[in-house]
Structure 1
Amino acid sequence: MTQDKVAITGATGLIGSRLVEKLAARDTPVTVLSRRPKAAATRFPPERFPLVTVKGYVPFEPTTISSALIDASAVVHLAGEPIAARWTPEVRTAIRQSREAGTRALVTAIACMTHRPATLISASACRYYGVSSKRFAENSPPGPGGDLLTDTTHRWEAEAQRAAEYGLRVVILRFGIVLAVTENGRAVLKRIRPFLGGRVGSGRQWVSWIHREDAVNILLRALDYPEMQGAYNATSPFPVPMSQVTDAFAHVSRSFIRVPVPGRVIQQILGDGATVILDGQRVYPNRLQAEGFRFRYPQIGSAVNDILS
């Protein structure tokens, strides 16, 4: 269990905010790199997080990054434009640049430092394998090009791997869909509980998912275990078709009105961004299991029960 300083990008996001909380609970100093430092400081007030320091930075300017990384022994890179949106040309550009150019700037900043962090843990995504119903593990080949998310993920990982050239241990975590509910989201869920559980799209698309607690515990393991290196699938060992996901929500919420959402409706709302929901991957965390990681929520039922309870 490390007590060295950890620097985190994307620290106010779904995974990052929980990671900061867990590191703070074990008295690990944390530097939060934020484009909006005032808002981030409100999220991590000093009375609750005395070991958390918030530093402003410009994601594409290495000089502002390197100054924020001073004294950090590890960097956890989670920053990236949200993909669950309608993909306008501007959003498509932001999705790509926030991951590719943002990671390039981060590694360039590290390369310029006299005293560099020892570890870079970089987020990635299951879309690395493309869209398919085949079974994928870490030794599976990358998916074919031509798809925004797949192409972006390939370039994202390549930029992160450059850090190894400068002596860093690099861990890449290919996350599945993260299941969690924020405090604001719980109020929404209470209102829509009666309608949860309708079929989404065909319902046959595979969902490689992970509970947020397991996602964060994998990040902590990557910080604590220096033998971890290379790419890992950060997904539940039991991917399921979308129909099983919606059935789990219906069962736990005791839904009595199950409203189906046809794929064409999702496409009308999200445009090309509908691929995030309508297309899937069947991904397995072979390396994590082989190395002894134990999932707290391996089954979709227990995961949904926890986030809805």
Structure 2
Amino acid sequence: MNILLTGGTGFIGQRLMGHLRSHHQITVLSRTPNKVYQRLGHDIKALSSLDQLDNLDQFDAVINLAGEPIADKRWTQAQKERICQSRWNITQQLVDKLKAGVNPPRVLISGSAVGFYGRQGDALVDEDSNPNAEFSHHVCAQWERLAQAAESEHTRVCRIRLAVVLGAEGGALKKMLPGYRLGLGGPIGTGKQYMSWIHIEDVVNLILFLLEHEECSGPFNAAAPEPVTNEQFSRTLARVLGKPHFARVPAWAMKLLLGEMASLLLTGQRVMPVRLQQAGFHFRYPTLDKALKETLCAPQSR
């Protein structure tokens, strides 16, 4: 396949490239092509702007993973705007270019997040669950609406609602590890809030699965089939690292430090990957214990 990828230099994008590059022709869209060459190699084609293309007819598939990290900074009004526009603008541009052609890509796989559902307590959540209206839902809902506009008789659209992605080289786990390795890790707030997660290899594999299975379209929860509470996650992480588990981060401290963004950590969703499993996808890392042991104990040869 000839594939256009956005977000190729990010945490998921770099791991995905390791699987795509040997079998497909890849073009990475990035405002800084030099970063593409530095991180991915000079054999990858880099595109600095969609303005260089009249349409996307030359591509068989588009994978859209671009977006400002949602939990990297305090949610000021300006940061909220960056979070939104970094997702919405590129998605709108991709859809416009896709619609401008006569032989568009066969599939658009576009990112989203389990934040689409907002806070859900301990209720089991699937793709048909009603969302709670809040900022994370607002971001994801508009992101998905823009992507879904590309759906046609020629192009199917898959929207992947990502849970917390586990990998040693980036994401939330990388930020958590220093404290846990010092024996200072512990649950946040009550620890009873659910935390949906997925191993990065399963993210890569489900993207490949959706590329290849032409019957798949619509929303898919990219979350392992065994969500855990924050307390369970914290305890398992400490045990895999062989560290004590007695510290606790009070809710008030998180709110003081992070403001509104603390709600991401103090509330959660118990998300199930119902549509992926119905489609026949099998998780390589369905349990947290297995996922963390592979991530933290296996030699990092990738």
- When the two structures are superposed, what TM-score results if normalisation uses the length of structure 1? 0.89
Paired position in structure 2 for 1:308: 296
Q: Out of 273, 283, 295, which is 2:261 matched to?
A: 273
Residues 1:186 and 1:237: Cα distance change in structure 2 (over 3 Å)? closer
Q: Out of 29, 35, 40, which is 1:33 matched to?
A: 29
Paired position in structure 1 for 2:154: 167
Identity %: 36
Paired position in structure 2 for 1:297: 285
Q: Distance in 1 between matches of 2:179 and 2:136?
A: 32
Paired position in structure 2 for 1:56: 48
Deviations 1:154-209 (A, max 9, x none): 11111000001473111111111111111898799468513254121210110111
The secondary structure found in structure 2 opposite 1:163 is coil
Q: Distance in 2 between matches of 1:230 and 1:74?
A: 15
Paired position in structure 1 for 2:235: 247
Contact 1:194 / 1:256 at 8 angstroms: preserved in 2? no
Post-superposition shift, 1:102?
A: 2.5
Paired position in structure 2 for 1:8: 5
Residues 1:234 and 1:188: Cα distance change in structure 2 (over 3 Å)? closer
- When the two structures are superposed, what TM-score results if normalisation uses the length of structure 2? 0.91
Q: Distance in 2 between matches of 1:221 and 1:244?
A: 30
Contact 1:207 / 1:242 at 8 angstroms: preserved in 2? yes
Post-superposition shift, 1:149?
A: 0.9
Contact 1:194 / 1:257 at 8 angstroms: preserved in 2? no
Deviations 1:123-147 (A, max 9, x none): 1111222211211111223x132x1
Paired position in structure 2 for 1:109: 97
Paired position in structure 2 for 1:99: 87
Paired position in structure 1 for 2:136: 149
Trace 1:205-220 onto structure 2 (pairs within 5 A): 205-220=193-208
**One-letter amino acid of the counterpart of residue 111, structure 1:** K
- Equivalenced residues, count: 294
Deviations 1:48-75 (A, max 9, x none): xx3x211112xxxx534x4584621100
Q: Distance in 2 between matches of 1:107 and 1:166?
A: 15
The secondary structure found in structure 2 opposite 1:31 is strand
Contact 1:100 / 1:156 at 8 angstroms: preserved in 2? yes
Structure 1 segments unaligned to the other structure (5+ residues):
none
Contact 1:87 / 1:272 at 8 angstroms: preserved in 2? yes
Work out whether 1:223 is the aligned partner of 2:211: yes
Contact 2:11 / 2:170 at 8 angstroms: preserved in 1? no
Deviations 1:198-222 (A, max 9, x none): 1212101101110100011000001
Paired position in structure 2 for 1:259: 247
Residues 1:232 and 1:87: Cα distance change in structure 2 (over 3 Å)? same
What RMSD over aligned residues (CA atoms) do the two structures have, in Å?
Answer: 2.2
Structure 2 segments unaligned to the other structure (5+ residues):
298-302
In the TM superposition, structure 1's runs of 4+ consecutive aligned residues that sit over 3 Å from their partners are 66-70, 183-192
Residues 1:298 and 1:257: Cα distance change in structure 2 (over 3 Å)? closer
Q: Distance in 1 between matches of 2:119 and 2:227?
A: 14
Paired position in structure 2 for 1:139: 128
